[in-house]
Amino acid sequence: MNISNITVRFFLLFSLTGIVSAQLSATFYGKTCPNALSTIKTEVMSAVNSDRRMGASLLRLHFHDCFVQGCDASVLLDDTSSFTGEKSAGPNANSLRGFDVIDTIKSKVESLCPGVVSCADILTVAARDSVVALGGASWTVPLGRRDSTTASLSSANSDLPGPSSSLSALISSFSNKGFTAKELVALSGSHTIGQARCATFRRRIYNDTNIDSSFATSLQANCPSVGGDSTLSPLDTTSPNTFDNAYFKNLQSKKGLLHSDQELFNGGSTDSQVNAYSSNPASFKADFANAMVKMGNLSPLTGSSGQIRTNCRKTN
């Protein structure tokens, strides 16, 4: 009986420990690195003030991290002779940016609290601070993620939705990560900031019919049918550096830059949600914040899983 009781108690203790270690907490660094969040915010504000596009870049970096084996900073790992990371994947190559900003933040935080704050948490907080820096609403970020020692080039190529995706493909891609169609629309609202390369929207402005003709013509001036692949255009031409609900109003006017953007308002099941966010910016900001917290909770490494990298670009 005693052995049985001890076994049961040990099992319960082990189970509770597992539950606790798997939980993220907003106050995770409250005692171990109390100035971590303020340091991250200062660096993000500085980076965005000097390059407004950087806000969208840091937000996108977090998204591309979380959708590939969870929010574990795998996207930050450089390729080496014996390791293949995710940076060369189709959705990431020549388009992901902000790595240097993350490096700067990491070095500042490391000088404060060596080996304490993960790169995965820095990415998650930087995404939130970027939205705030460009006028969006804030939200509380649960913390305590750890960094992976692995990456997945194949998952980066398969799990990240592309700019030519159909509505059904988008819904499926987000559903695979546990998101509803409504949350897909809310998160797509991140395209109220940032820019896209000509190569990602060329087919839309020359071939799509559900596009405002004057809008298409104006884009063609800087994005020729051949060449100019890297020429940039804002995803939201109305207020490209302000986090607002103009993106949804643009969709109503057939002025979505990417084919995948306009798919959200093209006679399909998500039209009503686009209309709702267009007329109610407060509901968009609230839903976006909630969806971002949910995204930040995608399969995080916690407890003793993974590691706290000292350099975000390589494993310890």
Could you list the residues known to form a binding site, using ranges: 65, 68, 70, 72, 74, 86, 161, 191-192, 236, 244
Q: Are 53 and 187 in contact (CB under 8 A)?
A: no
Left if phi > 0, otherwise alpha if psi is -120 to 50, otherwise beta: which for 135?
left
Q: What CA–CA distance (Å, rounded) separates 88 from 115?
A: 28
Taking Cα atoms as reference points, which of 117, 8, 97, 104 lies closest to residue 55? 97
Residues 6+ apart with CB under 8 A from 184: 170, 171, 174, 264, 270
Provide Rg for the chain, Cα atoms.
21
Residues 6+ apart with CB under 8 A from 4: none
Q: Clarify whether 64 is annotated catalytic.
A: yes
Residues 6+ apart with CB under 8 A from 136: 243, 244, 285, 288
Catalytic residue among 64, 202, 249, 259: 64
Please count the other Cβ atoms lying within 10 Å of the Cβ belonging to residue 234.
18
Q: Are 313 and 77 in contact (CB under 8 A)?
A: yes
Q: What CA–CA distance (Å, rounded) separates 298 from 68?
A: 9
25 in helix, strand or coil? strand
Which residue ranges are tagged as binding site for substrate?
161
* Burial category of 316 from C-beta neighbours within 10 Å (exposed 0-12, middle 13-18, buried 19 and up): exposed
Evaluated on CA atoms 209, 210, 216, 219, the torsion sign reads negative
Which helix or strand (DSSP H or E) is residue 196 part of? Answer: strand 195-197
- DSSP character for 146? B
- Residues with a catalytic annotation lie at 64
